[in-house]
Amino acid sequence: MRVAGWKIVSDGSNQGFTGRQREPYYTRDTVGIFYVEPDALRESVLDRGRQGWPLSMHGNGDAAIDSILDAMEAAQEEGVDVRALRCRIEHCSILHDEQIKRMAALGMVPSFLINHVHYWGHVMRDQVFGPEKVQLLDRCQSVEQAGLNWVMHTDAPVSPLGTLHKIRVAAARDLWKEPGTILAPDERVSVEAAIRSVTRNAAWACHSEAEIGSLEPGKLADLVILDSDPRKVEPTAISDIPVSETWLNGTRVFGG
């Protein structure tokens, strides 16, 4: 076991109407809450950054993400090498174009709870954000084009574990409640990009690229063998591809 970073929870959840927003929610007269106020967040980021901690900062609402970026920029101005820390924004739900540019300048990692799109997309559209702002939810293609090393997670038990399903959602952005409906179609990514986000990008974000993330001599040889190539099936079918073998550190532990 090892300690991989320092977690700071700056706000709540968007579906719970507690994620901190720039403007009130679509159907609620509230902008949510800060769990950590901006001034306190700046102090914590500077203190932990000076100690060399990679920071994993929970940020759902756009105002919370503003606060995180302000804190990171303040730490950089104080001499902290924030790019070397590879700090993440966990969930990173709502991103405006200027926030993506700021993240790129800081070398930050957007970590998307991508299943927000599949399981809650209709709720985000109809109750939480409205049809316009929901287009800013989990902007995988935008950060891919901006050159950021983005990653994905499930936040289990908030949504089910399953890496193939995350790849499917990033590539298809389909809604569980409304089959055939695509949420923010311009934010769909290629299957190749989605695979990279849960392999090489994820290893890099955890400072573990020397051990895992790609198949190269000297690494741990953790891999699965799938029955079908996810790049050659319909994106919505990726979740259902069977795993025929699992290997850990070069040893087969399942299948065969």
Q: How many other β-carbons are positioned within 10 Å of the β-carbon of residue 250?
A: 10
Q: How confident is the model over 174-185, as pLDDT tens digits?
A: 999 999 999 999
Q: How confident is the model over 11-70, as pLDDT tens digits?
A: 999 999 999 999 999 999 999 999 999 999 999 999 999 999 999 999 999 999 999 999
What's the CA angle centered on 95, arms 89 and 99, to 5 degrees?
Answer: 80
Q: How far apart are CA 248 and CA 191, in angstroms?
A: 24
Identify whether the C-beta of residue 250 lies closer than 8 Å to the C-beta of residue 220. yes
Q: How far apart are CA 70 and CA 107, in angstroms?
A: 14
Under the banding of pLDDT at 50, 70 and 90, the label for residue 4 is confident
Q: Which of 166, 171, 144 is nearest to 155 (CA)?
A: 166
Phi/psi for 58 (5° steps) reads -65, 120
Q: Which residues on neighbouring strands pair with residue 225, listed in sequence order?
A: 245
Answer whether the bond into residue 157 is a cis peptide, omega within 30°: yes
Q: How confident is the model over 109-150, as pLDDT tens digits?
A: 999 999 999 999 999 999 999 999 999 999 999 999 999 999
Percent residues over pLDDT 70 in the chain: 100
Helix ranges restricted to H, 55-127:
62-77, 82-85, 97-106, 115-123
Kindly list the structural domains of the chain, giving each domain's residue range(s) and its CATH number in brackets, ordered by start.
6-212 (3.20.20.140)
Q: Which of 132, 155, 142 is nearest to 101 (CA)?
A: 142
